[in-house]
Structure 1
């Protein structure tokens, strides 16, 4: 297994993306500490993991608050091998930038910068002491697209990728890796939208593979990147856009 005897912390562990990544980590042998603000959602993911023979804990953690993050990390005994932030940001879309308020534009940028900075640096301090660890952040194809009415979400994603590069440059000498995942829109993360084919067609048409990424593909890639098989990878953004972005 890719992550046997590893310990992972997943922020936003009760969400669609965070939950999928947590399940993938557990399938690959990691003990997963699920952190989030909705206990019922965290417990559902933990139940899925333990039912399938994995190991998971849950904790109410505000990933926008440094004291909450620090207290949770302090409660975990032993090394922390992997940190993944899958926390959602508040965003306003479907409004042209020229018609948007500065508050609506800046909100997702501030949210993304705050939660990713707090969780990644808290994990980094622990990992520097250990001399090893992997920090994973979640971006999106918006970071590189000329999107239509995306509001501040594009800049939020770009900020995550910038933080990935800068933090990687600082902590690499201590044996800590930092990588961002950049999927395209993943329909399974929003089943409540009941999206029809007409809604997805423009997104699909813009991909080289003629489809959008699967949640299992993003989660499986996260597990691989967190493993020793990707030990030479840091400061990188992993392209999971199905060719919507060609590097």
Structure 2
């Protein structure tokens, strides 16, 4: 076993966490994905934003450019595998390579017990949150192999995947499956130098959680009461964890599902 190999990250540290990298981000029109697009660009990456809503993508892209970053976008429906691969291919066509990817895009469904979940809702959350993540990972691995050669992928899971989830059972099940895909991919592609990790956010002040709080007043306060830090995260706090895992500073981290939850899982 070679115990002398190290990774020199001093240059990257000086230039930015993701300096010189090309990053692909799903669900980038709002929430955690939009925060990631802004952050990754500030940290030196050229970013390709993907989501379903062009107006949101355009707004975030223009914001990144106005701040001096390099960004473009592709309209992408995670439930459509061909659309996902086309968005990844567009990244390579624009920037010549793919180094890192953040599979953040997801959909939710109304809260309630398992027997009240409609089959159509279950199918939709499966198509986007699980099959869409699988399709994105497959396309990203192909693109990294063909261009950068080595790289990193981070999947956005949920603290709700780490135990029983009676409030969002289908959502939790799909995110737990994403954790399994993450671990399997890490084992499969690690020998090629492609790292794959996931983050498991706790309560985060995104449009999705605000809508849930509107339909179930007080739910954020209830969640915060079970969170040792006693507050919800800002989307950028979640994006920071993804950025680190994608960066060379996490060069020996793969196959992990990292809770970013204010201590909720430990409580």
Q: Deviations over 1:187-238 (max 9, x none)?
A: 2444456659843222112112222222121111111111100011111111
Which whole-Å deviations, capped at 9, do the CAs of 1:4-62 have from their partners, x for residues lacking one?
A: 11100111211211111111100100000111221110011111101111010112222
Q: Deviations over 1:94-146 (max 9, x none)?
A: x2223434444454234321110000111011223342111111111110233
Match of 1:122 among 136, 139, 144: 139
Q: Does 1:209 align with 2:224?
A: no
Q: Structure 1 188/66 Cα, relative in aligned 2: closer, same or farther at 3 Å?
A: closer
- Work out whether 1:56 is the aligned partner of 2:71: yes
Task: Please say which of residues 227-236 and 98-107 is displaced more in the overlay.
Answer: 98-107
Q: After the TM superposition, which residues 73-222 of structure 1 pair with which residues of structure 2 at under 5 Å, given as runs? A: 73-75=88-90, 76=92, 77-93=95-111, 95-129=112-146, 130-190=148-208, 191=210, 198-222=218-242
Maintained 8 Å contact 1:90/1:111: no
CA deviations 1:47-88 (Å, max 9, x no partner) are 110111101011222223232233333332422011111212
Question: Is it true that 1:44 corresponds to 2:59 in the alignment?
Answer: yes
Q: What residue number does 1:238 align with?
A: 258
| 1:229 to 2:249 alignment | yes
> 1:186 is paired with a residue of what secondary structure?
coil
**TM-score for the superposition, normalised by structure 1:** 0.91
TM-score normalised to the size of structure 2?
A: 0.84
The answer as to whether partners of 2:203 and 2:220 remain within 8 angstroms in 1 is: no
Taking the aligned partners of 2:87 and 2:263, their CA distance within structure 1 comes to 38
Cα contact 1:9–1:83 (8 A) shared by 2: yes
Segments of 5+ residues of structure 1 without an aligned counterpart are none
Once residues 123 and 211 of structure 2 are traced to their aligned partners in structure 1, the CA distance between those partners, rounded to angstroms, is: 26
**Which ranges of structure 2 fall in alignment gaps of 5 or more residues?**
1-15
